[in-house]
Structure 1
Amino acid sequence: MRIWIAALALSVAAPAFAQVPPAEPTAPPPVTAPPPTAATPTPPSPPAYAVVHVRLTTSEGPITLAIEKQRAPISAGYFLKYVDQKRLDGTVFYRAVKVAPGYGLIQGGPRNDPKRVLPAIPHEPTSKTGLSHTDGTISFARGAPGTATGDFFIVIGDLSTMDADPKQPGDNQGFAAFGHVIEGMDIVKRILDEPTSATAGPATMKGQMLVQPIKILTARRTD
């Protein structure tokens, strides 16, 4: 089985603004001083979601991730197993998908290496986690829902069309986002711009496989 990402659909629509006629002029209301009131207390900030920080040290430089262990516990826990068992050390980023200028993704991971892959996990859709495929999001590649085995991708730009959408027909479960880049997006964008082969890879990936894959030297927790 080959891990692949379905064709991406990206639509960017400019908002429409209705022309509003100017209101008829009216006399200004009388100005009165407001009654004294007690100072309104500042509401407390909502608690931050628990994350685990992971650094991918690549041949192009470091990429630091915040892994959403609280909001996406299944996917985050699975990724952290790969990190803790050093199964990502020596893997590569091998795919760069350019959707439009400033939009795309890079994909890496064990690529079905039997010495590295762990058993697949249940799919954890964004409709459950509340996450979205915005700029810098890390998510699992898959075929059918529940077939992810460690290959992952990082999003460049807003690709929220990859989120779960129950209104869409067919496989509408989207992809399992589980964290985001907090440092090193310049490295991610540099990998996206690497040369790709016109002939390498399966039919669905023609023109997307990197001529020179980018090595993932190590993946480690930094907390």
Structure 2
Amino acid sequence: MIRRLALPLAALVAGAAFAQTAPTPTAPAAAPTPAATVQVTLTTSEGPIILALEKDKAPITTANFLHYVDAKRFDGTTFYRTVKVADGFGLVQGGIGQDPKKAFPPIRHEPTTKTGLSHVDGAISMAMNAPGTARGDFFIMVGASPSMDATATQPGYAVFGRVVQGMDIARRILDAPTDPNKGKADGMANQIIAAPIKIISARRTNTPITPPAPPPPPAPAS
């Protein structure tokens, strides 16, 4: 069974970010110790997507994803679903899809209220039908959607990492044409990609991350 997102599309609402001027500190603060992450590269037919998984903040969900990686069960799977709410905003879903032979047992839900993570642009999170049903399907956010985080009354979805390189590929997947004849029975009409993007392999890696190029300087005023 394809693990679907139970939230309606209207829940994919990007939170606005407001720039604020920080007060000048009276003394330099000690830099926090960065949380340990595990790097995984998804080699797709469109190019590599490099992930940083939060093994300290989301240990259960990260261990589950690495279980699939180390068993090579993501190899030959696909990104098969795109939920496009607006230009440059939505999510792309991939994983084992409808192949029960690749599925490990479901895992306990790790809400964002516990992990401290959020559905920011580039976040990777688990697809599920209900808390405690997530297996081997995941999605990548294109644009931020804090409404998918957990609240006091809603379980939300389990973020466990982020894309550190390859968001251009995720955006291309978001724009991939869909098949209008697929997904209707599962409540995913016009969301199943007509030609799914193949995940050739998923491996732990230690690839140096290339920082994005700085924006060009503004043109001088005439």
Query: TM class, shorter-chain normalised?
Result: 0.7 to 0.9
Residues of 2 paired with 1:125 and 1:41: CA distance? 35
For these two proteins, the number of residue pairs brought into alignment is 195
Q: Aligned pair in 2 of structure 1 residues 4, 10: CA closer, same or farther (>3 Å)?
A: closer
Partner amino acid, structure 1, of 2:138: F
- In structure 2, stretches of 5+ residues that fail to align are 18-25, 207-222
- In structure 1, stretches of 5+ residues that fail to align are 16-39
User: Which residue of structure 1 lines up, in the alignment, with residue 4 of structure 2?
Assistant: 4
Equivalent residues of 2:54, 2:161 under 8 A apart: yes
TM-score, length basis structure 2: 0.83
User: Which residue of structure 1 lines up, in the alignment, with residue 85 of structure 2?
Assistant: 99
Residues of 2 paired with 1:61 and 1:131: CA distance? 26
User: Which residue of structure 1 lines up, in the alignment, with residue 20 of structure 2?
Assistant: none
- The CA deviation at 1:2 is 3.8
- The CA deviation at 1:149 is 1.0
Deviation sequence 1:17-54 (CA, Å, 0-9, x none)? xxxxxxxxxxxxxxxxxxxxxxx763321000110000
Q: Secondary structure in 1 aligned to 2:102?
A: coil
User: Which residue of structure 1 lines up, in the alignment, with residue 205 of structure 2?
Assistant: 222
- The CA deviation at 1:12 is 5.8
Partner amino acid, structure 2, of 1:125: P
Q: Aligned pair in 2 of structure 1 residues 112, 13: CA closer, same or farther (>3 Å)?
A: closer
Deviation sequence 1:180-203 (CA, Å, 0-9, x none)? 000000000001001011120134
Deviation sequence 1:51-100 (CA, Å, 0-9, x none)? 00000000000000000000000000000010111010000000000012
Equivalent residues of 1:103, 1:159 under 8 A apart: no
Q: Secondary structure in 1 aligned to 2:118?
A: coil
Looking at CA atoms only, which structure, 1 or 2, has the larger radius of gyration?
A: 1
Equivalent residues of 1:162, 1:174 under 8 A apart: yes
Residues of 1 paired with 2:139 and 2:51: CA distance? 12
Equivalent residues of 2:14, 2:143 under 8 A apart: no
Residues of 2 paired with 1:113 and 1:219: CA distance? 17
Equivalent residues of 2:15, 2:146 under 8 A apart: no
User: Which residue of structure 1 lines up, in the alignment, with residue 168 of structure 2?
Assistant: 186
Partner amino acid, structure 2, of 1:191: I
Q: Which one of the candidate residues 47, 55, 74 is aligned to 1:88?
A: 74
Residues of 2 paired with 1:178 and 1:86: CA distance? 19
CA RMSD after TM alignment:
1.7
- The CA deviation at 1:213 is 0.2
Q: Which one of the candidate residues 200, 204, 207 is aligned to 2:182?
A: 200
TM-score, length basis structure 1: 0.83
Residues of 1 paired with 2:89 and 2:52: CA distance? 21
Deviation sequence 1:75-131 (CA, Å, 0-9, x none)? 000000101110100000000000122210000000141221100001111010000
